[in-house]
Structure 1
Amino acid sequence: MDGIRQWRIAPEGAAESVATESSAFAQAPEGGFTWVHVNCAHPGAREWLEGAPLEPLILRALLAPETRPRCTTHGEGVLLNLRGVNLNPGDEVEDMVSLRMWVSESLVVTVQLRRLMAVSDVHESIERGQGPDGAGELVARLALRLADRVEPVVAGLNEKVDVLEDQVIEGLSTLSRRDLGDIRRVAIVLRRHMAPQRDALSTFEIEDMPWLRPHDRSRLREATERMTRLAEELDAIRDRAQVVHDQIIDARAEAMNKQMLLLSVVAAIFLPLGLLTGLLGINVGGVPGVDNPNAFWIVCAGLVAIGFVLMLVFWRAGLLGRR
């Protein structure tokens, strides 16, 4: 059936693809395990999984519509939820795809609702004859491949922030706050899942499961450390984006203040001039120079002189460009 893949994986990592009947759940090789992967995006895959010989609690966890990264022990197995970036065409990378897992010594069941590149990477390695040699090793490989797929996305966010920082330093007017907002949004959403994923992997690594070998725990520890580093980088990206945002706001506020200062100086210069012309323009008796034919030019010269003196005062006060 499309959307369902099963392998019997021997202790040395050799893998054999098997048919998709329910009996395959119990047919693990001696010392090995069976991996059943279900892609519920394919028609009929969900119904097939609902009829699988698994406990109702496990089925509900594997088919839950919404999940967050977590690790919960149940009997001799572990329910583990992880998330990977969405690299499907036309989708947003921050719309992360969940990978739900039931992991025991002889059986691993993984479920995805959308295509997940990290799972395809592990499928390809098995088909090349490089399968994992245990259930813990499989989980570690999946976690490491999820980290591998996230790293280019985080690196791309870092490069975008670098470009915006350079634009702020150069004072380019084309800098877009919308681009900055997109970077912050993606970093926040990714960080929201990376931190719980780190905790889930760390919890799985320290669980007292006899089938988890020292080698498996070492690989899981490596995956945990990579998730920790990615979460820290996302924190740094978010903080750097906030700094760039503050610099943009400061630069625009400074430009606005300069413009308002110029307008204030112009208004301050013309305010006394307007007062004088207003007084001389009132229609009452006693206005000086009414009978003097040169009064107009005398008043104009006086206004120019007053304006020049005011400009000189503002210039000496550093309000007209003087530093």
Structure 2
Amino acid sequence: MLDSGEGGVRTGGTELLIEWQRHRQGKFWLDIQEEDVTGERKLLESMGLHALAVQDAQRDRHPPKLEEFDGFTFVLYRGIASFNEELEHQSQNIAFFVSDDFLVTRHPKPAVSIEKLFTDQGAALLKQGPGYLALRIMHTSAGLYLDALLKFEERLSDIEDSLMSNGNDDIMRELVTYRTRLVKLRRLFNYHRNITDELRSEEYIALNCKDDTMGHAITDLHDRFDRLYTLAEIFYSISGDLIDGYISIASHQLNRTMQVLTVITAIFVPLGFLAGLYGMNFEYIPELKIENGYFILLAAMGSIAVGLLALFRKIRWL
């Protein structure tokens, strides 16, 4: 996308890049996706971009970062390939090479935020400057994260109601899965929040916080990342509380079951002792000749059982 400064904004292929490199006039946005790594490196280095920045941009796994080079600012952002309200997401690194007169975005997979802005608002945003355009791409991407997290809040509320009324192991597994995903998202949002913290505290070539428009855009982006981090932290805590609550309820129910079994065992131990005592095959047992000994033993055993039940009820074991 080329804004030649004459009022018109054109989109096209490499012919616009060649034209811009020849005259170096206007503002230029180059978006690179699924290109050959070697050819991509040569192209980027031909634009004067530092080899180390290009190397970081082409790495599959690299934490978000912000770095100043001679003539441009390099931002490595963790964007979205796909994301839903179940917190299932595929992220990808989006590299921003930002200067006063150009923006280069590089990503291996389709990026929802870039595709959306390129077709809808790209021309208007490019006129406002490559730095402002880069911030709006990140802001749009953060908005997609935010929409999914707000939808997840409804799902978390439903899980909380289900857990209290009919908790089971399937819900527990689901909660543990969400908690794991929230840990990853919280770490990601913290990286991004650190980037905007740095942007607000220092001056960069094309992302100058001293400029009023850029300063407001950086602050707005920081607030969005801060909200994302806070929501991820809150949802992580809620998930943990629900897991702990379910485990506590399950442990309490197990304790009650064990208590009942203990009471039953305590009642039948003395009864079993008496039955075993008079069931021994000795010829001379004193009470065997008592005419009503059988009924007396049953009465004694019954009294012991009733007495123990009364005792356990009194001490609130039943």
* Shorter-normalised TM range: 0.7 to 0.9
- TM-score normalized by the length of structure 1: 0.86
Q: Tell me if the contact between 1:9 and 1:28 (Cα under 8 Å) persists in the aligned partners.
A: no
Moved more, 202-211 or 116-125: 202-211
Q: Tell me if the contact between 2:66 and 2:75 (Cα under 8 Å) persists in the aligned partners.
A: yes
Give the Cα separation in 2 of the matches to 1:88 and 1:318.
Answer: 52
Q: Tell me if the contact between 2:71 and 2:205 (Cα under 8 Å) persists in the aligned partners.
A: no
Q: Is 1:124 aligned to residue 122 of structure 2?
A: no
Unaligned runs of at least 5 residues, structure 1: 1-6
Moved more, 255-264 or 181-190: 181-190
**SS of corresponding position for 1:109:** strand
Alignment of 1:190-269 (within 5 A): 190-209=185-204, 211=206, 212=208, 213-269=211-267
- Percent of residue pairs identical: 19
1:50 is matched with which residue?
Answer: 41
Q: Given the superposition, is the C-alpha separation of residues 155 and 228 from structure 1 closer, same or farther in structure 2, using an over 3 Å criterion?
A: same
1:38 is matched with which residue?
Answer: 32
Please state how far the C-alpha of 1:160 moved relative to its aligned partner: 2.3
Q: Tell me if the contact between 2:87 and 2:148 (Cα under 8 Å) persists in the aligned partners.
A: no
Deviations 1:27-77 (A, max 9, x none): 5764x321111112xxx4434312210432232122122221110001121
Which amino acid in the other structure matches residue 273 of structure 1? L
1:281 is matched with which residue?
Answer: 279
Q: Tell me if the contact between 1:168 and 1:247 (Cα under 8 Å) persists in the aligned partners.
A: no
1:4 is matched with which residue?
Answer: none
Give the Cα separation in 2 of the matches to 1:200 and 1:85.
Answer: 17
1:163 is matched with which residue?
Answer: 158
Give the Cα separation in 1 of the matches to 2:6 and 2:230.
Answer: 36
**SS of corresponding position for 1:95:** strand
Deviations 1:256-302 (A, max 9, x none): 00000000000000111111111111222432332345432332232
Q: Given the superposition, is the C-alpha separation of residues 84 and 65 from structure 1 closer, same or farther in structure 2, using an over 3 Å criterion?
A: closer
Q: How many residue pairs get matched? A: 308
* Equivalent of residue 141 in structure 1, options 116, 136, 139: 136
Please state how far the C-alpha of 1:248 moved relative to its aligned partner: 0.5
1:180 is matched with which residue?
Answer: 175
Give the Cα separation in 1 of the matches to 2:81 and 2:247.
Answer: 33
Give the Cα separation in 2 of the matches to 1:267 and 1:249.
Answer: 26
Deviations 1:215-256 (A, max 9, x none): 122112101110011101100111111111110110000000
1:3 is matched with which residue?
Answer: none
2:315 is matched with which residue?
Answer: 317
Deviations 1:98-157 (A, max 9, x none): 111111112211111122111111112246x53432011111111110111101221133
Q: Given the superposition, is the C-alpha separation of residues 162 and 46 from structure 1 closer, same or farther in structure 2, using an over 3 Å criterion?
A: same
Give the Cα separation in 2 of the matches to 1:143 and 1:163.
Answer: 31
1:64 is matched with which residue?
Answer: 59
Which amino acid in the other structure matches residue 38 of structure 1? I
Give the Cα separation in 2 of the matches to 1:277 and 1:180.
Answer: 51
2:3 is matched with which residue?
Answer: 9
Q: Tell me if the contact between 2:33 and 2:109 (Cα under 8 Å) persists in the aligned partners.
A: yes
Q: Given the superposition, is the C-alpha separation of residues 218 and 178 from structure 1 closer, same or farther in structure 2, using an over 3 Å criterion?
A: same
Give the Cα separation in 1 of the matches to 2:287 and 2:198.
Answer: 95
Q: Given the superposition, is the C-alpha separation of residues 12 and 71 from structure 1 closer, same or farther in structure 2, using an over 3 Å criterion?
A: farther
- TM-score normalized by the length of structure 2: 0.87
**SS of corresponding position for 2:286:** coil
* Equivalent of residue 20 in structure 1, options 14, 17, 22: 14
2:298 is matched with which residue?
Answer: 300
Please state how far the C-alpha of 1:314 moved relative to its aligned partner: 1.2
Which amino acid in the other structure matches residue 213 of structure 2? H
Q: Tell me if the contact between 1:86 and 1:94 (Cα under 8 Å) persists in the aligned partners.
A: yes
**SS of corresponding position for 1:71:** strand
Please state how far the C-alpha of 1:195 moved relative to its aligned partner: 0.8
**SS of corresponding position for 1:284:** coil
Q: Tell me if the contact between 2:76 and 2:94 (Cα under 8 Å) persists in the aligned partners.
A: yes
Give the Cα separation in 2 of the matches to 1:39 and 1:160.
Answer: 34
**SS of corresponding position for 1:86:** strand
Which amino acid in the other structure matches residue 177 of structure 1? M
Give the Cα separation in 1 of the matches to 2:315 and 2:8.
Answer: 84
